Structure 1
């Protein structure tokens, strides 16, 4: 009975989560009383073209994921394995950024990017996205490194590796679940974020997919083109679902081996 109740509850919750996706997919192919892919054709030819918005989003995602992984890995390794003055205070300050709603600091960041010559730039937007991801990413990577026995890197150093060599050759394979978890969160945030690109990007040919999808909802005479917008939602959701299902095993292991130690 307990197992049946467990599966029943899980099935009901799954239906609640799956229903919006199924409804969006059904709405995206609905053409009045018929069905077809005209909505996806309008999506492909909207504005600068779907390829331009996909390319912009892929560039943003690549820069954000790569930058987040590099910085969070080095920072997490330093917090987990090294001692330095102000280590605890600095770590608390990094985590404190999580308490600041990021839309409230986008305007100052917009001004700062203008002074750096990175305004209306995918590189500048990627730097902002990396900054927003770092508190959680550093926390995850510190805990992931702390879950690895120190004997591993000590043995590597005895065999002739330096601190960086032990990190690259021994510790990184051991913290792969944590890396996948951080990378997946950075991917989802940069792929789906709407507010930061809306404020920091002003050129139509540099818009990302979320901004383009929201803009395409307005049709003739102010009417909302819901079917085309739903086609955009489905197009954006499919890579996220595929990547999550592909990396689910590492994602769960990353939380179990890393976050629970915090």
Structure 2
């Protein structure tokens, strides 16, 4: 029964993606890659700069999220300080705030910082929204590591930072993979934040470029090319998940069990 239920859920979730892939290669005369050719050659299609922007935003978001959540999770998981639990609960409380309600305020803040309409500013905003969940995951991952490992490193002369780099990080690798994968998937497919925070078409991400294809002359929409764009954007996510799925599942389950 479990296998039947799992198979049914897999079909339910994979059907939209499979349909998009099928529609992306379907042409009026049969099957081919002409839809992908139009995706990259149309006036309002995807350009190389859009691909670069998406890669840059995703990479920077993942880097900032990993660094901050690792340090924050290590502090919450291994150190005691006044107000620790209250601060941790306050961090988690950010998850209850719909991020769309604060984007305008963040847009103004980025203007004060000189990061308005920039990929760096967008990446920092996306990383900020990832941090509550990421810190929660990393704290649980660090707490799951036996304290004896860290104490042995400290006795051997390592500082707290040295123990973190040499001993703790290899031990929490599944948690790092989980946090990094979540940050990548979110930033890669994010639409609303780039729509609000980016003004220049040269800085658009692929998601904005694909959505922009729906705006055509006389209301005509090239749905086949649009499906090609959806499939093209989904491929990196599928490849990364298939490569990292074992570490992802271990990291997510360990974090959930400790939580």
Determine whether 1:140 maps to 2:137.
yes
Secondary structure, aligned partner of 2:161:
helix
In the alignment, structure 1 segments of 5+ residues that lack a partner are: none
Tell me, what secondary structure is at the counterpart of 1:258?
Answer: helix
Deviation of the 1:225 alpha carbon: 1.6
Task: Give the alignment of 1:76-155 within 5 angstroms.
Answer: 76-155=73-152
Residue 239 of structure 1 pairs with residue 250 of structure 2: no
- When normalised by structure 1's length, the TM-score is 0.96
Cα deviation, residue 151, structure 1? 0.5
> CA offset at residue 33 of structure 1?
4.0
Task: Tell me, yes or no, if the aligned pair for 1:144 and 1:259 is still in contact at 8 Å.
Answer: no
Which runs of no fewer than 5 residues in structure 2 stay unpaired?
none
Q: Is the Cα–Cα contact under 8 Å of residues 40 and 228 in structure 1 kept in the other structure?
A: yes
- State the 4+ residue runs in structure 1 displaced beyond 6 angstroms: none
RMSD over aligned CA atoms reads 1.1
For 2:231 and 2:46, the matched residues in 1 are separated by 17
TM-score (norm 2): 0.97
Residue 40 (structure 2) pairs with residue 44 (structure 1): yes
Tell me the number of residue pairs that the alignment of Structure 1 and Structure 2 aligns: 258
1:77-131 alpha-carbon deviations (Å, 9 max, x no partner)? 0001111111111101100000000011000000111111101000000010010
CA distance in structure 2 between the aligned counterparts of 1:106 and 1:219, rounded to whole angstroms? 28
Whether 2:183 is the aligned partner of 1:183: answer no
CA distance in 1, matches of 2:9, 2:45: 39
